[in-house]
Structure 1
Amino acid sequence: MTRPPIPTLDMEANTLTNPGIRTVAVLGGTGPQGRGLARRFAAAGLRVVLGSRTADRARAAAGELEAATGGQVEGADNLAAALLGEAVIVAVPWEAHAELLTELAPALAGKLVVDCVNPLGFDGKGAFALRVPEGSAAEQAAALLPESRVVAAFHHVSAVLLDDPAVEFVDSDVLVLGDDREAVDLVQQLVATIPGMRGVYGGRLRNAHQVEAFTANLISINRRYKAHSGLRVTDI
C-alpha cells in the first residue's frame, strides 16, 4: 500500500514549506496550552501574537516570551490577535469557546483556524468528556465560523512540556483533522516547526469528538504515573 506523504518542515530554510503562514495568533495565549504553543512557534522563527481577554495581560506575557525565545512575540486582545493572525489557534477554555468564536466570526473569515479545545468535565473520579451538541468543539467552531477553514489539532500535547524551555524535543505526534485537505496540510507543516513533533492526518472533522475525548484518558494516565504522556502513531 502506498502511504500519503506527511508534510515536513524545510529544515535547511528553517521555515514552513508553504510560505503563506508567517504570523500565528493564539487566542487564549496566556493560558497554559496557548502559552506553550506560542513559545514553540516563536522559537521556530514565526511571528506570534498572543491574544487574551485583556490586552495588558497579553502584552506582559508576550514580553516574557519574546525575551525567553528571542523571537517576535506581541500581545493584544483576542479581537486584535484574530485580525493579525494568518493562522489562528483557538486555545481558550471550553466554557468560553462558543461565545468567543461567535464574537470573532467576522474577524476570522477567510482565515485558517486551528481548534485545540477539549470539552472536558472534572469530578471526584477525574476527567471525563462532555457532550457537545454539534459533536465536538471543532465541529462547533466550524458551525460558528462558516467562512473560516477550521482544522482540529494539538489536543494531546502536554502544556507543561511545551512551556518548559529545558525540553528541546517534544516527543509527540499530533492528530490533525479537517475537511479541507490543503488546510490540513498547512497545519501538519505548522506542527513540524516544533522539534520532535509530527502532524498525522487523523480523518475528517466529524471524527474530532473521540480525539478531544481521549484527552481525558491521557489525564488519567498522567495522574496515575505522574507523567506528561503524549501520543505516537506507529507504522507511518
Structure 2
Amino acid sequence: MTTTYRIAVIGGTGPQGKGLGYRFAKAGHSVVLGSRSAEKAGPVADEVTERLAGVEGAGSVTGAANADAIGEADVVLLAVPYDGHAELVESLPLAGKTVISCVNPLAFDKRGAHGRVIDGGEGSAAEEAQRLQPEATVVGAFHNVSAVLLWGEDDYLDEDVLVVGDVVEAKEVAMDLAEAVTSRRGIDAGKLRLARQLEPFTAVLISINRKYKTHAGVRISGV
C-alpha cells in the first residue's frame, strides 16, 4: 500500500471501531481512537498497541477526545451506535474532512435484527451525516464487516468491502483502506443513497450468523 493516512476513529472504544483501528494500524496507518473522553480512549489505544507489538511496519495508535482526534486526521471513521448519532455528528469538527460512516441503524425484537426506517425510507445514517456536515465529504463503507473477525487472528478477512458515495476521490480513500481488512481494494458500489441498502443488510448477516453460528461477510463475484 503506497498511501498512508492519519485516521481518527470516532467510536474507537467500541468493538467495531477498535477492530477497524487495529486493522488500519496493522497496515501502517496512524490511528487515533476517539471517545467522549481521552481517559476512556487511552486504555483501549494501549490495548491495540500491545496487540501490534512485533508487527513490522505497524502504525501508531493513540487515544484522544473526539475533537482532538479529528484535528490532525486526514480521514474520520464514524463507528458509533445510531442512537445519539445526529447529536454527536453535528457536534464534531468535520468540515473539510473525508468521513467514512460504518454506522448501521438497526433494531432488535423477538424476531431478531432488522433495519430501522430512516427518513421514511429515503435516508440512511451516512446521508444524515452528510446533511448535518455539508462541508465534509461522507462515504459509506465497512458496514458488513464482523467486529469479532476484525479483532481476530486471521491476517485478512475473505470478503469484500462495499463503498458508496457521491465523490469519487473520497470513495478511493475508503477503497484504499479496505486493503487493510481484506488485502484487496474495496468495491465501488455506487452513490451515497445506496447506504439505505447497505446499512440494514447487516441485519441479514446477523440472522445468518445466528442460524449458522458463524461471522458471515459479503463476497462479490464477477468483479
Per mean C-alpha deviation after superposition, the further-off stretch among 116-125 and 126-135 is 126-135
Residue matched to 2:79? 91
Q: Equivalents in 1 of 2:8, 2:168: separation in Å?
A: 21
**Does the alignment pair 1:112 with 2:98?**
yes
**Does the alignment pair 1:178 with 2:161?**
no
Per mean C-alpha deviation after superposition, the further-off stretch among 39-48 and 128-137 is 128-137
Residue matched to 1:103? 91
Say which SS state the counterpart of residue 222 (structure 1) adopts: helix
CA contact (8 A) 1:171 1:197 kept: no
Shift of 1:47: 0.6
Q: Equivalents in 1 of 2:24, 2:77: separation in Å?
A: 11
CA contact (8 A) 1:62 1:73 kept: yes
Match of 2:21 among 6, 20, 38: 38
Unaligned runs of 5+ residues in structure 2 are 54-58
Shift of 1:77: 1.1
TM-score of the two chains, using structure 2 as the length reference: 0.93
Q: Equivalents in 2 of 1:139, 1:230: separation in Å?
A: 23
Per mean C-alpha deviation after superposition, the further-off stretch among 209-218 and 62-71 is 62-71
Count residues in correspondence: 216
CA contact (8 A) 2:26 2:180 kept: no
**Does the alignment pair 1:124 with 2:110?**
yes
CA contact (8 A) 1:51 1:78 kept: yes
Q: Equivalents in 1 of 2:37, 2:172: separation in Å?
A: 32
Unaligned runs of 5+ residues in structure 1 are 1-9
How big is each residue's C-alpha offset from its partner over 1:170-211, in whole Å with a ceiling of 9 and x where there is no partner?
Answer: 111011000001111121011113344540011101111111
CA contact (8 A) 1:178 1:184 kept: yes
Match of 1:74 among 59, 62, 65: 62
Say which SS state the counterpart of residue 192 (structure 1) adopts: helix
Match of 1:162 among 150, 165, 168: 150
CA contact (8 A) 1:172 1:197 kept: no
| 1:29 counterpart letter in structure 2 | G
Identity %: 50
Matches within 5 A, 1:201-220: 201-220=188-207
**Does the alignment pair 1:29 with 2:29?**
no
TM-score of the two chains, using structure 1 as the length reference: 0.88
